[in-house]
Amino acid sequence: MARELGQDELIDRWTLVEAELAMVAGKRGATRLGFAVLLRFYTEHGRFPRSRSEIPDAAVDYVARQVGVPVTELAFYDWSGRTIEFHRSQIRRTLGFRECSVADADKLTEWLVTTVTQTERGAERVRDQLLDRCREERIEPPTGGRVDRIVRSALHRGEELLFARVAIRLSEAVRVRLFALVAAGADDDGQPGGDGDGPAVLASIRSDPGNVSLNTMLTEIAKLEAVRAVGLSAGVFADIAPKVVAAWRARAAVEAPSHLRGHAPEVTLALLAALLHCREREITDTLVELLISTVHRINARAEVRVTKELIKEFKRVTGKENLLFRVAEATVNAGDQLVRDTVFPVAPQAVLADLIAEFKSSGRPTSAP
């Protein structure tokens, strides 16, 4: 379905230039208008319209006024048959385009594999790159179905090259450790069984962290040690696009060990390596967050404990003046009597201890409020 066009877009995209007007000069009626519409559409899109419905009515009306043909004449233009094929051939020849041959399709596929699909994995983006390349090479794009097949083939082959590139960078020892993570010695849920516990280790590596606690921190440390024990080199993904590695990591995170070991060896190795490469960073970040949260929690608990102690020690002693007067009076009149016999009956030892604590905490002699 054709979309609506604004006046500026009509002028920019559907105005026939002098050379194009010369091309339609020898034609009449519906043939003249149909040829002009085909010519303008091809110039803008690098291909011919698949049907009349792709051409906006406003564009037809605008072109019709330029070539001096009533817009209703387009209804008599034959969109199949010898006339339109001749018009297409004439337009291609004049503009320097050619139909996409088998050799062209193979060349375009190779270009996508080596230049595009190893960094761009989205089918729509690859398709756009393909159409742009066709315009650069002045090749008329193939049909939609053929374009889809070229894109799928290029994406598949491009990923195979990436898998092989990663696998060849892994030492034999690392390969053995990676394959051990999906060994058949355990069930697909990661429960230990048989002779190996590799899938159980893989399940642990893929698991999310628990709540903030010492046990959680110890568990994450164990995960990090398990990842590093595999021995991946830092540069294994040096020239692989991060979004490609992230996509592999996501894929390896959800596939069961049986599915992972069912792939070709290069695919299994690359997916597991991507998972461990990303998880090492993620677990490290988690440990940092856990450490920060733990420190905050310790600080919070320490503040509460200190506050309680301070409140206990800072508790003000009421009636200090009367108490001190009674202590002084009892002391003066005590003579040679013991403190416990003269002072403590007036001011118990615990009360005096609170008074001393208040004095020390204030840093100055107590005074009446």
User: Is the pLDDT score of 362 beyond 70?
Assistant: no
The one-letter amino acid at 231: G
Most confident of the ranges 100-109, 206-215, 292-301:
100-109
The yes-or-no verdict on residue 302 having pLDDT over 60 is: yes
Mean pLDDT of the chain: 83
> Per the structure block, which two tokens stand in for 295?
């420190």
C-alpha–C-alpha distance, residues 152 and 144, integer Å: 12
Tokens of 247: 């996509």
Section 262-284 average pLDDT: 93
Convert the pLDDT of each residue in 36-76 to its tens digit.
999 999 888 888 888 888 888 888 899 999 999 999 999 89
29 pLDDT more than 50: yes
**Can you give the pLDDT at residue 369?**
40
CB-based contact 260:252 (threshold 8 Å): yes
Count H helices, E strands: the chain?
Answer: 17, 2
Per-residue CA distances from 172 to 169, 179, 235 (Å): 10, 11, 16
For the entire predicted model, the pTM comes to 0.63
Report d(CA 117, CA 168) in Å as an integer. Answer: 19
Residues 6+ positions from 28 with CB-CB distance below 8 Å: none
Q: What percent of the chain has pLDDT over 90?
A: 41
Give the C-alpha distances (Å, rounded to integers) separating 360 from 308, 321, 327, 344.
17, 17, 19, 21
Position 193 scores a pLDDT of: 39
CB contact at 8 A, 262 and 255: no
Contact 200, 192 (CB under 8 A): yes
pLDDT of residue 281: 92
pLDDT at 192 over 70: no
Residue 294 · residue 212 · CB < 8 Å: yes
What's residue 151's pLDDT?
95
Average pLDDT, integer, range 322-346? 64
98-99 vs 139-140, strand pairing mode: parallel
> 97-154, pLDDT tens digit by residue?
888 999 999 999 999 999 999 888 889 999 999 999 998 898 988 888 899 999 999 9
User: pLDDT at position 366, please?
Assistant: 46
Token pair for residue 119? 């960094």
Instruction: Determine the pLDDT at residue 157.
Output: 94
**pLDDT tens per residue, range 217-246:** 888 899 999 999 999 998 899 889 899 999
Question: If you search the block for the tokens 């006046």, which residue do you land on?
Answer: 7
Which residues 6+ apart lie within 8 Å of 272 measured at CB? Answer: 178, 181, 182, 202, 252, 260
Rounded to whole angstroms, the Cα distance separating 318 from 134 reads 94
Residue 331: is its pLDDT beyond 90? no
Distances (CA, A) of 276 to 75, 86, 119: 63, 60, 20
Give me the pLDDT at residue 141, please. Answer: 87
Residue 307 banded pLDDT, cuts 50, 70, 90: low
pLDDT of residue 174 exceeding 90, the answer is yes
